[in-house]
A and B are shown apart, each in its own frame.
Chain A
Amino acid sequence: MATGMGLLKGLWVTFSTMFTKPVTVMYPNVKELPVDRSRGVIALDEDACTSCMLCARQCPDWCIYIEGHKEEKPPSKPGGRPRTRNVLDRFDIDYALCMYCGICVEVCPFDALFWSPEYEYSELEMKPLLHDKAKLGEWLTTVPEPPALEDR
């Protein structure tokens, strides 16, 4: 290619791009659908959670608050040892701290945490960004179905 042709090529690129349709999505009016895998918000399936604290301990930002207590149930046979069950009292994620690494989702052994593609939960203050377990449970309804297994 002759010297200087690159300059003309560059000029042509900007000139022709000028007449193409802009790729901008007019956000508040038109919404781009996020892909299912996108990391919008973390949802909690409260029934699956055993308050094992693995997620809270793996969280690099320490943005997960878990409190639970142990409840005793009557033994299955008379005179046996009482059965125990962990009850989740508090499960909060502070999205002001969360860096969306997803380690908690990966580390959860009971599939209680899920990524949801919802992203519109900005707030004017820090405090409402602390989502409690009720709110995290609401996000569960927005979690898309996992993709079907591939054929072997």
Chain B
Amino acid sequence: MSFYLELAIKMVVIFAMVPATALVIGYAELKLSAHMQSRIGPYYAGVRWGWAQLIADGVKFLQKEDIIPDNADRRVFSLAPAVVMISTVALFLIIPFGSSGYAIGRNVDMGIFYAMAISSVGTLGVLMAGWSSGNKFSLIGALRAGGQLIAYELPMVLGVVGVIIQAGTLSMQGIVEVQIAQGWPFAFTQFVGFFLFLLAALAEMNRTPFDMPIAESELVTGYLTEYSGFRFLFFFLAEYANIFAYSAIAATLFLGGWGFWGVSAAWAGPFIVVAKTFALSFVVIWFRWTFPRFREDQLQSLAWRWLVPLALANIAVTAILKVVI
């Protein structure tokens, strides 16, 4: 296959995957949250189970007026949703869906480093959105998001370092291959890192219990306040696609990616990855509908006073054991 044909196919697949996964997880959230609250949730859209609810919502968003407030910084305001979306799309690039080279957007040598770096760009988009909206709620929400990113980026990266030390590689494919070669996923040895990564990923995605930046009841959804129509749809898709992306990264790093005991990775690889990813996405949704949100100061003190020292201790122990054993 020629390079350009492969590139084109991969681009189309990745750009299709972002809204597709966002729709699936968004629908799962609607239905799961409903049943967790003893409700039914979407019911009439589509013929059964309201499966077309989010498609209907998407069409509704497209029909809405595209409003830019007078006080807004027009150029930054319209650029912000794209920045958020791009960072999400870029995350999908390095998720390995199988053992072959075609099952990954690009097998980057320092894949996990790239993922950690590019995921922070999304918060830049959030800051742009909040700053350019010309609205105090948006600004407060965006600054909270910024503070939260700085606080939780550290435990996330430090939590991943343990995996990197144990695997001895930064490549996503390589990390999975090490886990398959040793026969058990890193979640057994790096459970502290797994815990840190999940918590920090929740914070990065602005999901409860870390949804202080978009706290509906006090900030009228923070940096999203002034957005409507298509731009809001971008943020919405990015939020749900992000759940998939982070869950997939966690599945790759800690749950052994496409490997599963006794199943051939040759054909089942993508299905195993997606199954593990959806299981983790379920946990994310489950947390959201169970826990109330942290207060801003509790949220910061949890990150700086507990998670960062825990992550550093984890790195120290992992490094010592790596040398000793």
Residues of A that sit less than 8 Å from B by CB: 7, 10-11, 13-15, 17-20, 22-24, 26
> Could you tell me how many residues of chain B have their Cβ less than 8 Å away from some Cβ of chain A?
14
Find the A residue at minimum CB distance from B32.
Answer: A18
CB distance from A23 to the nearest CB of B (A): 5
Which residue from chain A places its CB closest to the CB of B31 in the assembled complex? A18
Q: Decide: A23 near B291, CB < 8 A? Known: A11-B286, A15-B286, A18-B32.
A: no
Q: B35 within 8 Å of A by Cβ?
A: yes
- Cβ of B304 within 8 Å of any chain A Cβ, yes or no, is no
Of chain B, the residue at the smallest CB distance from A20 is B38
Q: Is B184 an interface residue (CB 8 A)?
A: no
21 A-B pairs in the complex with CB atoms less than 8 angstroms apart: A7-B291, A10-B291, A11-B287, A11-B290, A13-B290, A14-B36, A14-B290, A18-B32, A18-B35, A18-B36, A19-B35, A22-B34, A22-B35, A22-B39, A22-B40, A23-B38, A23-B39, A24-B38, A24-B39, A24-B40, A26-B43
Q: How far is B38's CA from A22's CA once the two chains are assembled, in angstroms?
A: 4
CA distance A26 to B41 in the complex (A): 11
**Identity of the chain B residue whose Cβ is nearest the Cβ of A24 in the assembled complex:** B40
Please state if B289 and A14 are interface contacts (CB–CB under 8 Å): yes
| Complex contacts, A10 vs chain B, CB 8 Å | 290-291
Q: Which of B71-113 contact A (CB under 8 A)?
A: none
Residues of B within 8 A of A20 (CB): 38
Asked if B37 is at the interface of the complex by the 8 Å CB criterion, the answer is yes
In whole angstroms, what is the CA distance A13 to B103 when docked?
Answer: 39
Task: Give B32 Cβ to nearest chain A Cβ, in Å.
Answer: 7
Of B39, B40, B286, the contact of A14 (CB 8 Å cutoff) = B286
Count A-B contacts at CB 8 Å. 34
In the assembly, what is the distance between CA of A44 and CA of B36, in Å?
44
* B284 CB to nearest chain A CB (Å): 13
Q: What CA separation (Å) do A7 and B39 show in the bound complex?
A: 22
Distance in angstroms from A42 CB to nearest chain B CB is 32
Q: How far is the CA of A24 from the CA of B43 in the complex (A)?
A: 11
Taking the nearest CB of chain B, how far is it from the CB of A29, in angstroms?
11
**Which listed residue, A17, A19, A26, touches B37 by the CB 8 Å rule?**
A17
Q: Which of B245-299 contact A (CB under 8 A)?
A: 286-287, 289-291
Among A11, A13, A14, max chain B CB count under 10 A is at A14
> With a CB–CB cut-off of 8 A, which chain A residues contact B32?
18
Which residues of B, 3-43, contact A by the 8 Å Cβ criterion? Answer: 32, 34-40, 43
Check if B38 sits within 8 Å of A17, measured CB to CB.
yes
Q: A14–B35 Cα gap in the complex (Å)?
A: 9
Chain B residue at minimal CB-CB distance from A7: B291
Complex contacts, A17 vs chain B, CB 8 Å: 35-38
Q: Distance in Å from the Cβ of A16 to the closest Cβ of chain B?
A: 9
Query: How many whole Å from A21's CB to the nearest CB in chain B?
Result: 8
Cβ of B37: which chain A residues have Cβ within 8 Å of it?
Answer: 17
Enumerate chain B residues within 8 angstroms of A24, measured Cβ to Cβ: 38-40
Q: Which of A10, A13, A18, A24 has the most CB of B within 10 A?
A: A18
